Amino acid sequence: MHSLILPEGELAVTVLRRPRKSIALRMRHDGLEVVAHPQVPLDYIRELLIRRTDWIRHHWQQQRTLAQAKALQPQHVFLMGRPLPIVFCGGTRQRVVLAESEAQVYGLSGEDQPELLRAALARALSRKAAQTYPARLAWFAPKLARPMQGWQLSGARTRWGSCTAGGKVRLNWRLIQAPDFVLDYVMAHELAHLAHLNHSPAFWAELARLLPAWQAGRDWLKEHGRQLFSLG
């Protein structure tokens, strides 16, 4: 299987064979990736893609919109849900200062390539995430059924966070752009895995105990999560 014909055009499809119970669909910048067990027939995968056409078209359009946005010079950056206008401040040393009401950019100008500015903004946001996440994790600490065994930033493109069997949590730096209740949801989700390393009813009960209003964060990510990848 190499492509899928849609009203918007021809979409490249790549099928990866891995031992797993379910079929995963992942929309990437270069096409649709399907991950399925080696024993799943190709005809079944084709039928599944036809049934999921609406989902595929929606996420393909999101990818195309994101690609178009990346070709333009960003005018603002989001920090904890707040848009900060970008202000070019001259200078020769390339850096970004995330101030209270603006993102101050040094060593770059509006004439430079958009990817240079996006990379500089991403580095600044990653540093901000490293400074911000520990305090929010500490807020959950007294409520945990099992202590967390450390944490680190993640730059993953398919996961907002993860938790290992050993109790180490990874959190995506891109979440620093989202409102604080979204970050709290992802943190609570991964911290709930300290008690239940699955998505059983017991896990969801633990998540609700840690963060009763968790649903709002998940809904926000479903609707707006793709926008958090505009910087890379």
- The amino acid at 39: Q
* Together in a domain, 44 and 152: no
Does 113 or 104 have the greater pLDDT score?
A: 104
* Together in a domain, 96 and 175: yes
Of the CA atoms within 13 Å of residue 166, those in its CB half-sphere come to 5
Mean pLDDT of the chain: 92
Q: What angle do CA 60, 61, 64 make, to 5 degrees?
A: 90
Give me the residue label for tokens 């493109």.
157
Q: Percentage of the chain surpassing pLDDT 70? A: 97
pLDDT in tens, 184-226: 999 999 999 999 999 999 999 999 999 999 999 999 999 999 8
* Together in a domain, 140 and 36: no
* Together in a domain, 48 and 156: no
* Together in a domain, 195 and 110: yes
Last residue of a domain, one of 42, 70, 98: 70
* Together in a domain, 57 and 84: no
- Indicate left, alpha or beta for 150 from its phi (over 0: left) and psi (-120 to 50: alpha): left
pTM of the model: 0.72
**For the ranges 34-43, 57-66, 86-95, 151-160, which has the lowest average pLDDT?**
57-66
Backbone φ and ψ of 177, nearest 5° = -80, -25
User: Can you give the CATH number for the domain in which 125 is found?
Assistant: 3.30.2010.10
Q: In terms of DSSP H, where are the helices of 141-198?
A: 180-192
* Together in a domain, 88 and 28: no
Backbone φ and ψ of 34, nearest 5° = -115, 125
Last residue of a domain, one of 70, 104, 127: 70
Give me the residue label for tokens 């333009």.
72
Residue 72's pLDDT band (cuts 50, 70, 90): low
* Together in a domain, 119 and 93: yes
Last residue of a domain, one of 46, 70, 94: 70
Token code pair at residue 82: 């707040």
Structural domain span for residue 39:
3-70
How many distinct structural domains can be found in the chain?
Answer: 2
* Together in a domain, 112 and 180: yes
Q: How far apart are CA 173 and CA 137, in angstroms?
A: 14
Give me the residue label for tokens 């970004």.
96
* Together in a domain, 119 and 22: no
* Together in a domain, 165 and 112: yes
What strands lie across the sheet with 95-98, from one edge to the other? Answer: 76-79, 82-88, 103-106, 95-98
Residue-wise DSSP of 78-116? EETTEEEEEEE---SS-EEEE-SS-EEEES--TTS-HHH
* Together in a domain, 88 and 33: no
